[in-house]
Amino acid sequence: MAQVSGLRERGIYRLPDGQDVVVSACGGEEYCMFASATYDSFGLAEYLISSEGQILMGTEPTGWGVEDLSDTGRTARYQVLGHTTS
């Protein structure tokens, strides 16, 4: 597995299955990944990127790693409850 580095905060990445997700640091060297609708509604992350670069769904490995993400070049808006900013 590749080490986690260089992921953009609020960057929108594409998973191998074609789903776009928003990546956000969630503590330590781990990142949370949200479907766009989940991110927009302040929901819980569907995926976690471990500090080793493994992508987990809940606690289960997906078989994907950080190296399998494709950067779309887009960035999600910064969300603050009651406000949305660029």
Neighbours of 82 (CB within 10 A): 5
Average pLDDT, the chain: 86
| Residue 84 resides in a domain | no
Contact 16/33 with Cβ under 8 angstroms?
no
| Residue 72 resides in a domain | yes
Domain range enclosing 33: 11-79
pLDDT above 70: residue 82: no
For residue 81, the model assigns a pLDDT of: 58
| Residue 27 resides in a domain | yes
* 75 — pLDDT class (breaks 50, 70, 90): very high
27-42 pLDDT per residue, tens: 878 899 999 888 888 8
For residue 1, the model assigns a pLDDT of: 47
Mean pLDDT of 52-77: 94
Dihedral sign, Cα of residue 44, residue 48, residue 51, residue 53: negative
| Residue 86 resides in a domain | no
* E strands, the chain, in order: 11-14, 20-27, 30-35, 47-49, 54-57, 60-65, 70-75, 78-80, 83-85
CA 2 centroid distance within chain: 16
